[in-house]
Amino acid sequence: MRYIAGENTQSALQVASALQDQGLTSTIDILGEDAVDLAQARRAATDYVQLIDDIARAGVERNISIKLSQLGLRVNQEQTAAELFRVVDAGAARGFFIRLDMEDSSVTDATFEVYRRMVEQYPRVGVVLQARLRRTADDARWLGARQANVRLCKGIYRESAAVAFQRDERIRRAYLETLRVLLTRGAYVGIATHDIHLIERAEEVIAQVGSGPHQVEFQALLGVPMRSTLLRLRDAGYKVRIYLPYGSMWYAYSLRRFEENPKMAWTIAKSLFRPGQLDLSA
């Protein structure tokens, strides 16, 4: 699939290596979420420990992303923390950066609680903010004050109007306001969006705040057709990171991409018949 770096670790590492040859970097994610029992959560953690070892041997950037529900967050938060500690310990021994992905608002507080516990022991753990959530301004102030490493995205989960902004322009405004808060307080920000207009506005905020490539990077999902923008950012001195999901659980992931942007429906349909491609076309 266009949006998936294959069904196995070897395929994902090949894509990561190809990106590295283009001056782009990556974060690798094993597809899967919402473990239904602790045995499934333990298997997922074991898979990530093995992935850490595989990445270290492959010589690509040591950066992974994890959904906590995959480690059992909806089953048992304490067990999730224990499984994550196992992954973090393996990563710490090899100098990895580990990003805790953010899911829907029902687990936002729990995700932040696990993040707080991890980052106290291992600073190279980051988290995600979703600009569309009404709470995000407060979360950004807290994370910014701690100079956290934050991926900032719009957010793709369906949320009620009481929880999240609904209009695109309001979400864009919240995104830029959050970015400004994070940068002015010293956070490192992964600007994760495929909205070209928003990227250009974000560059204006970076210039106004006086930040630069040392404090931000730009991030995109594998397969989104925005090569010219990503290469322009790379050539301007910014780190550009591609999110590389892989594994057998590709169908649910692709559906979320479709829900995020229905205009991609035809692209997704075509990609079903073109597995394993590295497509960063403009």
pLDDT single digits (tens) 69-125: 999 999 999 999 999 999 999 999 999 999 999 999 999 999 999 999 999 999 999
Phi, psi of 209 (to 5 degrees): -75, -25
If 0-12 CB within 10 Å is exposed, 13-18 middle and 19+ buried, where does residue 38 land? middle
Dist. CA 153–CA 99, nearest whole Å:
13
The tokens for 51 are: 């992935």
Dist. CA 181–CA 114, nearest whole Å:
23
Encode the chain (282 residues) as per-residue pLDDT tens digits. 578 999 999 999 999 999 999 999 999 999 988 999 999 999 999 999 999 999 999 999 999 999 999 999 999 999 999 999 999 999 999 999 999 999 999 999 999 999 999 999 999 999 999 999 999 999 999 999 999 999 999 999 999 999 999 999 999 999 999 999 999 999 999 999 999 999 999 999 999 999 999 999 999 999 999 999 999 999 999 999 999 999 986 556 556 555 655 554 444 444 444 444 445 544
- Candidates 29, 62, 99, 101; catalytic one: 101
Dist. CA 173–CA 169, nearest whole Å:
6
Dist. CA 194–CA 184, nearest whole Å:
23
- Whole-prediction pTM: 0.91
Which CA distances in Å does 97 have to 1, 55, 205, 241, 247? 26, 12, 26, 13, 21
- Candidates 151, 172, 180, 257; catalytic one: 151
21 tagged catalytic = no
74 tagged catalytic = no
Residues 6+ apart with CB under 8 A from 217: 189, 190, 191, 238, 239, 240, 241
Which CA distances in Å does 102 have to 108, 120, 228, 251, 263? 7, 19, 28, 19, 24
Query: Residues for the chain: how many in total?
Result: 282
Place of tokens 């805790």: 100
The tokens for 181 are: 């808060």
Dist. CA 139–CA 182, nearest whole Å:
10
